[in-house]
Structure 1
Amino acid sequence: MRHVFEVSTGFGLCGVAAIVEHLDLGAVEDRVLLVANTVLAFEAAPPVHELPEYAPLLALFGRVVHLNDLIAPEHPHGWSPVPGSHHARLATAQLHAACGIDPDEEHVLWVESIQGAASASLTRLFERARIAVYADGLMTYGPTRIGVPDLVGDRIDAVVHLDLVPGLQPFVLREFHPEYRSFPIDGFLDVLRSVGGVDAPPVDGPVSVVVGQYLADLGLLTQEEDAALLSRMIAVALEQAPDRPVLVRAHPKAAAHATAAVVASFTSQGRDVRLLPTRGLVETLFAELDVALVVSCFSTALFTARAMGVPTVAVGARAVLRRLRPYQNSNRMAIVLADLLHLSVPLEAGPAQRPTTDPALIELIAAVTALSMQPGSLEGMLGVHDAAVLALPPDRYALLRRYVSQERLLRLFPGLPAPRRSVAARMRGRAARVPVLRGAWRAARRARTALAGPGR
């Protein structure tokens, strides 16, 4: 049985290495590493198999195939041969030959995200392969965000995921009923320790690490809001331990000048805040240094740090959740879990929320969040959690409402009592049905806004 592993990142390659070490996946010569360099300017960024820190992991595979070289001049993001076309048949033959797959040989295609453009194309082109989906970080816990053809979905046998939230089963591809298997985070951390990565700075004693993200580039925040979020993260790290150095690790895709400007604003005040290089996996720092705190918004690094026993703080997760569009955005589940499972600090001033530790409540909130995102593909879950939601005491129902709006909950759980509308809401509803009153209401609202002034 030949196993073809598609990877695009160092995190993915470390995950595959941990899976190979944990599961019985045949001899080395039967394993193929299929590397897809999916960054937009891939000519300027070496693929993961050419990075020296990951060289030891290549020994786990009998051959390495670079997808970009195979399909040049096309880019993996836009490469999507039409099924049944001459182009698709040629691509399939080319892939089989490059991976050493004989015409009648059984094989398994492992993809790191069924929802990525390159992965989706590969699952269609490897038309005889059984399919396994491996850890896509926190997005694995959310529902499938795209429609997966039955010809692909019916060949998906397993979802093998990193156990970032112990006890919680992923919702991705639930509509195809695959086997869900987790691989232990300890094995993943062992792989991380075996590779190089971030250059650890010369520091004595404990440090705090701030892990930035690239939310402006994803269109979730403006550049100014993204900078404000990073600034808030650093400020929280300094508040938690004023005398501890703060190491800032920006996301490799974030604008370098913007991150440097935020760090410079703190160093100019005499604070010990240092900017780290973006090469390698930030998790390697957790083993090399005495990391006493990790601060981020909803990075996977929060969960790996938590698994290692490092205190964590999620900053601004709820503010980002409110701006997330469309509602089915795959980051939604990651943000909910980050806010729910870590000490959660608001983007602006306000009280922190302590981590939720009740496994049943965590599972219920995750299930309702997934169902609210994709009620069509998860229709088999409709009615399953009604009794549990209806039985929630007020404080726990308020926590659920933090992540799923009352309107969506009423649609999912018809047995919920409808909230009593305020007098103002009833007046607005009546005014909306009468043209004269509707105009007067809007004029009054404009007048109030004008009187309040720009500082409102």
Structure 2
Amino acid sequence: MTTQIFMASTLYGTATLAAALDAGCFAPADRRILLVSNNTATPETTPSVDRMPGFGRLRTRFDDVVSWNEAIFPFHPGGWQPRPEDVPMWERYLRLAWGLGDDDVALAVESIQVHPALGVTQIFADAPITVYADGLMSYGPTRNKLDPLVGTRVERLLHLDLVPGLTPLLLTEFGVPPEVVPTPVFTKVLAELADTGDDLPALTEPALLLGQYLSALNILSPDEEEELHVRMLRGAAGLGHERIVFKPHPSAPARFARTLEREAERLGVDLTVLDTPVLAEVLYQRMRPALVVGCFSTGLLTASALYGLPVARVGTGTLLDRLSPYENSNRVPVTVVDALLPEPSDHAAVTEQRRGMDTGALTSLVRAVGYAMQPKILPELRPEAERYLAEHLNGGAWRYFKKKRLTSLGLPGGIPQRLAFLPRSAAARRVVRRARKLRRSLKR
């Protein structure tokens, strides 16, 4: 017998899996299990995906639902991994707990580079793997070097076509082919969720602001994130919108909403803050927003690509400068949104839904940024990166790169060409180390 195990941590990811199943992306199986994982900082106080409004509509695709949190209790899904010597024991335990017996197991997981997905693939060490990506991170490189014992078992990357024509970089170091989940099937699945959220206000065509809780990722401070939301509100109001809805991140503190309410009163606009945890795509269908404003949320691209709604970005410039280290996995999503979508101040571009660059230019940019992020994982992209930097750094491409990073990699834009040998010179590095050692000794 064959059992397929699908791991999900969000309702959006579960909807992606449901669409992939409806589209026939997976072979027939004797049993299909949805393995839910609550990866929030405090899963004890935060509802897991199987308790979210609308989950029951998606549940029908699976024979059973089991909890990863319960299986590894009291450990946290994001902070636990099986010790190599314990892997056989864990596999026997899970086969017994989930009634797998001697079934052949196939896995479908998200974010395979990190736990909990990585731990699950390590435990079922012989299982073929499908990786599915429900957001913009699939367009970026693998965030760290993946164990070949895991990477070589990945058969394909399922992803949504959020940027038509842009090919994902994720897992290309293993030759993993990308496969698109058909957009019409995905939107049909989302339509099943349209009437969820009984407490949603009956509004039509407001401006919708999407919160992301970036301070929890240590990208912005809480005060800076409050200011980011205020900028979104001002941008929407500046475009003439008087009815505005704010969808905060489910884990965001209430103070974010209070700050916005005070600013809305000052601007003279009607602000509604949602307290029902629903997908942004449900709001797109229920409210049909006249404008969607966010930072770099995947919801901006689903609004634009799937529902044809006007969108605008706020704060991506700050994030491009702030993301650290350079290889931060959010860099490509921020880059894509910054390069494609207009700011609220560009009224004509927002109204006409004008893209910032075509697919060819975006592909070249993303591949150059991808190489600068992970040169050891994607060394074959170096010639493309050098060519792109040599041709485009005099334009607006500087915002996507750091001079220090380009210098360390010996790329155009880093240091003068006549000194390009220095980053690779062992003698030069020895001199620098001696100079630093001397400086430290003098400070004593």
Number of residue equivalences: 411
Alpha carbons of structure 1 residues 291 and 52: separation in structure 2 relative to 1, 3 Å: closer
Identify the residue that residue 362 of structure 2 maps to in structure 1. Answer: 362
Identify the residue that residue 430 of structure 2 maps to in structure 1. Answer: none
1:45 CA displacement: 2.3
Name which of 237, 247, 257 aligns with 2:245. Answer: 247
Distance 2:124 2:288 in 1: 45
8 A contact 1:5–1:33 mirrored in 2:
yes
8 A contact 1:344–1:354 mirrored in 2:
no
Alpha carbons of structure 1 residues 28 and 292: separation in structure 2 relative to 1, 3 Å: farther
Distance 1:400 1:121 in 2: 38
Distance 1:64 1:285 in 2: 27
Identify the residue that residue 399 of structure 1 maps to in structure 2. Answer: 396
Identify the residue that residue 12 of structure 2 maps to in structure 1. Answer: 11
Q: 3-state SS of the aligned residue for 1:31?
A: strand
1:268 CA displacement: 5.2
Distance 2:218 2:414 in 1: 36
Alpha carbons of structure 1 residues 28 and 267: separation in structure 2 relative to 1, 3 Å: farther
Identify the residue that residue 82 of structure 2 maps to in structure 1. Answer: 81
Identify the residue that residue 163 of structure 1 maps to in structure 2. Answer: 161
Distance 2:341 2:210 in 1: 14
CA deviation profile, 1:11-61 (whole Å, cap 9, x unmatched):
111111111111242447421101111122222223212334210211101
Does residue 296 (structure 1) correspond to residue 294 (structure 2)? The answer is: yes
Distance 2:295 2:25 in 1: 36
Distance 1:252 1:401 in 2: 35
Q: 3-state SS of the aligned residue for 1:326?
A: coil
8 A contact 2:209–2:244 mirrored in 1:
yes
Name which of 135, 138, 155 aligns with 1:140. Answer: 138
Distance 1:15 1:69 in 2: 24
Query: What is the 5 A alignment of 1:270-285?
Result: 270-285=268-283
Q: 3-state SS of the aligned residue for 1:247?
A: strand
Identify the residue that residue 340 of structure 1 maps to in structure 2. Answer: 339
TM-score (norm 1): 0.83
1:157 CA displacement: 1.1
Identify the residue that residue 424 of structure 1 maps to in structure 2. Answer: none
Q: 3-state SS of the aligned residue for 1:262?
A: helix
TM-score (norm 2): 0.85
Identify the residue that residue 94 of structure 2 maps to in structure 1. Answer: 95
Q: 3-state SS of the aligned residue for 2:272?
A: strand
After alignment, is 333-342 or 168-177 more displaced? 168-177
Q: 3-state SS of the aligned residue for 2:395?
A: helix
8 A contact 1:383–1:413 mirrored in 2:
no
Alpha carbons of structure 1 residues 56 and 206: separation in structure 2 relative to 1, 3 Å: closer
Does residue 56 (structure 1) correspond to residue 57 (structure 2)? The answer is: yes
Does residue 313 (structure 1) correspond to residue 312 (structure 2)? The answer is: yes
Name which of 140, 147, 161 aligns with 1:149. Answer: 147
8 A contact 2:3–2:106 mirrored in 1:
yes
Alpha carbons of structure 1 residues 248 and 301: separation in structure 2 relative to 1, 3 Å: same
After alignment, is 21-30 or 299-308 more displaced? 21-30
8 A contact 2:214–2:220 mirrored in 1:
yes
Does residue 213 (structure 1) correspond to residue 216 (structure 2)? The answer is: no
Identify the residue that residue 444 of structure 1 maps to in structure 2. Answer: none
8 A contact 2:406–2:412 mirrored in 1:
no
* Unaligned runs of at least 5 residues, structure 2: 419-434, 436-444
AA of the residue aligned to 1:109:
L
Distance 1:112 1:93 in 2: 23
Does residue 119 (structure 1) correspond to residue 117 (structure 2)? The answer is: yes
Q: 3-state SS of the aligned residue for 1:110?
A: strand
Distance 2:26 2:327 in 1: 34
Identify the residue that residue 70 of structure 1 maps to in structure 2. Answer: 71
* Unaligned runs of at least 5 residues, structure 1: 422-434, 436-456
After alignment, is 354-363 or 150-159 more displaced? 354-363
